[in-house]
Amino acid sequence: MINKYIIEFKQLIKIGVPIFGSQFSYMLMGATDTIIAGRASSADLAGLAVGTAFATTIWMFFSGVIFSVTPIVAQLYGAKKYIEIGQKIREILWIALFLGILIFLMFMNMGLILKFFPIDTNITEISVDYLKAVAIGATFITVFTCLRCYSEGMTLTKPVFYIAFAGMLINIPLDLMFVYGYLGAPKLGGVGCGIATSIVNFLMMIIMFLYIAYSKNYKKTKPFSRFSLPSLSTTKEVFKLGFPIGLGISIELSMFSGAAVILGILGETVVASHSIAINIASLFFMVPLSIGLAAATRVGNLIGEDNLRQAKVASFSTIYMCMFAALVNSIVILIFRDFIVGIYTTDLLVLELAATLLIFAAIFQLPDGIQMGALGSLRGYKDTFIPMILLFISYWIFAMPIGYFLTNTGFSNPLGASGMWYGMIIGLVIFSLLSITRLNWIIKKTLRISS
């Protein structure tokens, strides 16, 4: 039995390490934009921050639909239905293109909505122009995501990492050119980050297309062997699986943005400290996130092979690995929290409060890691609707109301920022327990049906 777990640990590492590299590259692209725009001016940084907040929320919702490609391809790949994979990806590319155009239109018209927000006009103008600059790139990255998920579903995660890493490196000189006007480029400030992002997204999409077309690793699926029109059955399958993923991601993002809104009335020191703590927690979360994403591929492959007992082993191996990674994260955060916060700020009040909140962030890691392991495995089983409901219950029925109560009222005294973190931890613990219960039920149901 131990050997079966060792096999799964090795497979998850093999699939997950390049996924981690890809996720880290995407994060560094955003960090590069923030640093370079911030050095241009505070208005450019603020405009970029507002624009990015809206862009990320919209794109993550729609990209969730495309994330369904991974379990679809993974199960077909495990079943060795290679030609069907090629047919599916041609049909799903139409969906990705449609969603990309829809995102483009939304970004181009976000100015109509932003004008109603109580934000300084100088900042809003930069945000609107940034969204227009990044709009076409949103279409490219949506198509790239479709191809990326197709590749990852076939356990080919290294090519995605190489392309994402190259995109991150190319983004640096492009940011410098368009933000500061180097090498004859127009000096656009924060808006230049949007231009750079669109160019990088286009290059990543084209390179991914060419690699898939000419690499022998994909030939057995014949992805571009012929022309295929959209398929109603494939469209239904993608939205049935993907819409709950997108909505679930939005629910999770809304908890973090909602927490920032709730804490906003407590002043800039609290907001800054909270933002730093959340950012650090998110960086460390990339490890269990990568393991969970790898699980969607590995579990899907095993189900496609009809190796359901090994799929059960893979699911629990994922949770154990995520727990171990989260435990290591927690220890590192607790030991080095003062040093880590010191990288972000020199303000003593912010530093002290952020270091305190990192204690919560360390606790935060364990339930967050467990839920990611369970969620990734559930995606491998193509179970996405009920987990979305469980996310809503955990975060919006429990986490947010409890956090709001403890922050502003408490049982004897308001707890301030700590109260919000207590609420989020409670929500995560509830969801981790519910998601493991759901995973157990799905595993037993699948084994019962097959026997």
Lowest-confidence pick of 209-218, 352-361, 408-417, 427-436: 408-417
Please report, for residues 30, 31, 44, 52, 346, the alpha-carbon distance to residue 39 in angstroms, rounded to integers and kept in the order given.
Answer: 14, 12, 9, 17, 17
Q: Give residue 107's pLDDT.
A: 92
pLDDT tens for each residue of 215-266: 999 999 999 988 899 999 999 999 999 999 999 988 888 887 777 777 767 7
Q: Which residues contact 330 (CB under 8 A, 6 or more apart)?
A: 362, 363, 365, 366
Q: Tens of pLDDT along 148-194?
A: 999 999 999 999 999 999 999 999 999 999 989 888 888 888 889 99
Q: Which two tokens stand for residue 181?
A: 């006007």
Strands (E), 293-354: none
Note whether 71 and 149 are within 8 A (CB): no
Question: How many Å apart are CA 247 and CA 399, to the nearest integer?
Answer: 17
**In this predicted structure, what is the pLDDT of residue 241?**
93
pLDDT band at 270 (very low <50, low <70, confident <90, very high): confident
Q: What are phi and psi of 387, to 5 degrees?
A: -55, -35
